[in-house]
Amino acid sequence: MSTRLLLLLSALLPPFLSSAQYQLSELATAEARWYENSLLRDSHQVHTAIRPWRQHDIAPFDRRGELLSQAPAPDGTFWNWAARKAFYEDFLTAQGDNYALTLNPIVHFSYGQDRAATFGSTYRNSRGARIEVQLGEHVSAYSTLVETQARLPNHVTAFAKSDRVVPGYWLAKPFREEAWDYAYAAGEVAYTPNSIFHFRAGHGKQFIGEGHRSMLLSDNAINYPYFRIETTFGKVKYVNTWAMLNDIRDSVRVGGNYAKKYLSMHYLSVNIGRGFNIALFEGLMWGSELNEFGFDLNFLNPVILYRPVEFAQGFTGGNILMGLNTSYRFRNGMQAYAQFAMDEFTFSAVRNWGEGSWLNMMGGQLGLKWGDAFGARGLFLRAEYNLARPYLYAHRNPITNWGHYAQPLAHPWGANFEELILQAHYRRGRWEAQARFHAGQAGRDRGGENFGGNIFNSFDERATDTGVFTPHGAVSRLQYLDAELAYLFNPSYNLRLRLGARLRRETGDAPLFPNSEQVFFGLSTNVYRSYQDF
C-alpha cells in the first residue's frame, strides 16, 4: 500500500469541516470495546468472528456516542474549538461533494520501571498518523505510519534480541542502551459495489474468532500484503484471502533477500437463528527455501479444496491448516465460543490416542464472554482456555510454518501449550479499568531436541514419535498479569492517560524468556495491538 499516494490524495482535498470514516474498524482492543458489549446483548446478524469488522455492520452498536453527544455546540471561539478537538472530535476533517477525509494522530508516550530487568527503566516514544479517505459511496482507503523508539519490558527485550523483531512489528534496530528503533505501517483500499461483494487490497492483518486468542489466524504478527473478497448472501458470509509472507531467518535467505511464501485462505460462516454461528476455515501455506514454488494461479480458485490442488500440481510442499469456529450468543449477553484447529493427522493415530502420536497436531479453544455482566452497563468479562498440541503449525519444510516475520500467525505461544485467560474490563463515563490474567504451561526444547513448541522448526527433527502429550519436553509454567486504569480524553481516536502494571513469571527447567515486573504511566491513542502476553 502506497503511503505517499494516500498522502498526496489528502493534500489535494480542500479543507471543509466534517468527518469521514473508513469502511473497516481498527483491529485494536480499545476500538473493539466500543462495540463489543452491545454486540453481545443486542439482536443482529453480524459475523463478529470475522475481523476487522465493517463499519456498515457495527455502526448501530457504537457506544462512544454516549460521550460524543455531550460535545459543546460550535460558537466560533478558540477555546470552544480546542475543547471539541481535545475531548470529542477527530483532529482534522475535510469533506466535499464526493469525498471525505479524516486525519488523526497516533501517539504512545510512556515511562516505567521493570524491577526484573538490569536496565531498570522502560519508555516508549511513538509518533505517527492515520489518514482515512472516503471517495464516493463505494470506495475508501486508509494509511497509517508510526515511528517508535522504546526500551521494552525484560521479556520483550529478550524476544527482540533473539528474533530481531518487536512483537507485532518489522525488524528492530538497536537504539541506545537496551532500546529499539522500529516502525509500523499499514494501508488499504476497499471497494464495496453492492450489498453482496466487498473487496480489499492492502498491507495489514486479519483476525478470526471470538476470543482474546485465535487458534486459526490472529493479529499477532506484523502486517502483510493481501487481497481479500467477502461475499454475503443473507446469513452466509464467505471470505477469500490471498497473502504474501516472509521468513526472515538467515538460514533461508535467497540471494540476500528474505524468503517469500504464500498464503491462501477460505472461511465460510453461517448464522443460524438469533445467536448461533458455525464456520469452516481452510488455509494453505506454500513456498520453499529456494523460492521454487512461486505463486500458482490454481490457488486463486475461490471454492476448491486445497489438498486436491496441491496434489494436482505434483508437490506436497504446502502446509494445510483446517479449522472450525463456532459460537452461541445467549439473550442475557453471554456468548459461548469454541475453535478447533487441525494440521497433519492420521485416523490411526487418533484411534490410538493414548499412544500420544506426534501426528495428532491439533488445537482448540473454549471460551465464555459476557457483555454488561450482571446487568452492570460497561462491564465485560471473559474466561478462555486454549490448547495446542506439539508440532501444530509446524511443517516438514520449516519455511511453510504457520508464521510470518519470526512471529506466529495464530497463538503467540506457538504450540505445545495450554493456557487459561481471565479478563475483566469496566467503563464508566471516561474512566476505564481492566485486568487480564494468564496462567498456563508450555513445553520447551532442551538439549538441542525439538519437542514441538517452536513452530519454526521442522517436525521431521522431532524428539520422539510417541508419548507426545501437552506439554511435551521441559515444562515451563507461565503467569502473566496486565492491569490498567485509564482516563479517556478523546473517544474519537481513543486518546487516553494510562497507569498500569504488567507482570510476567516463567518457572521451569528451561525458561524461554526472563521475567518482567513493569509498572508504567503514559499517554496513548492505543489504536493497534502488540501482544506482550507470552
Is the pLDDT score of 448 beyond 80?
Answer: yes
Condensed to tens digits (0 to 9), the pLDDT of residues 302-332 reads: 776 665 565 555 555 688 999 999 999 999 9
**DSSP-assigned letter for residue 212:** S
Rounded to whole angstroms, how far apart are CA atoms 216 and 464?
26
CB 446 within 8 A of CB 410: no
pLDDT tier at 107, thresholds 50, 70, 90: very high
Mean pLDDT calculated for residue range 365-377: 98
Mean pLDDT calculated for residue range 506-532: 92
- Identify the helix (H) or strand (E) that includes residue 85: helix 78-87
Q: Which cell numbers in the block locate residue 298?
A: 490454481
Lowest mean pLDDT among 172-176, 235-239, 521-525: 172-176
pLDDT for residue 317? 60
Nearest to 215 by CA among 340, 320, 345, 47: 340
Cis-peptide, bond into residue 72, ω within 30° of zero: no
Which of the residue ranges 17-26, 59-68, 412-421, 445-454 has the most confident prediction, judged by mean pLDDT? 412-421
With the C-alpha atoms ordered 246, 250, 252, 255, is the resulting torsion angle positive or negative? positive
Mean pLDDT calculated for residue range 139-151: 96
What does the mean pLDDT of the chain come to? 90
Contacts of residue 218, defined as CB under 8 A and 6 or more positions apart, other chains included, come to 207, 208, 209, 408, 409, 410, 411, 412
Q: Which amino acid is at 445?
A: D
Nearest to 242 by CA among 267, 275, 264: 264
Contacts of residue 474, defined as CB under 8 A and 6 or more positions apart, other chains included, come to 443, 444, 445, 446, 451, 508, 509, 510
pLDDT for residue 293? 56
Measured CA to CA in angstroms, residue 89 lies from 73, 74, 370, 509, 533 at distances of: 12, 12, 30, 53, 32
Condensed to tens digits (0 to 9), the pLDDT of residues 120-129 reads: 899 999 999 9
Is the pLDDT score of 21 beyond 60?
Answer: no
Question: Which of residues 103 and 354 earns the better pLDDT score?
Answer: 103
Taking every pair of Cα atoms in the chain, the longest distance, rounded to a whole number of angstroms, is: 76
**DSSP-assigned letter for residue 223:** P
Q: Which cell numbers in the block locate residue 202?
A: 492492502
Domain definitions of the chain by residue range: 3-524
Condensed to tens digits (0 to 9), the pLDDT of residues 222-257 reads: 999 999 999 999 999 999 999 999 998 877 776 777
CB 35 within 8 A of CB 366: no
Q: What is the pTM of this model?
A: 0.91
pLDDT for residue 11? 36
Is the pLDDT score of 9 beyond 50?
Answer: no
CATH topology of domain 3-524: Porin (2.40.160)
| % the chain with pLDDT above 90 | 74
155: left (phi over 0), alpha (psi -120 to 50) or beta: alpha
pLDDT for residue 30? 81
pLDDT tier at 283, thresholds 50, 70, 90: very high
- Identify the helix (H) or strand (E) that includes residue 312: helix 306-312
pLDDT for residue 447? 86
Lowest mean pLDDT among 19-33, 139-153, 302-316: 302-316
CB 530 within 8 A of CB 513: no
Rounded to whole angstroms, how far apart are CA atoms 298 and 313?
9
Condensed to tens digits (0 to 9), the pLDDT of residues 383-426 reads: 999 999 999 999 988 889 999 999 999 999 999 999 999 999 99
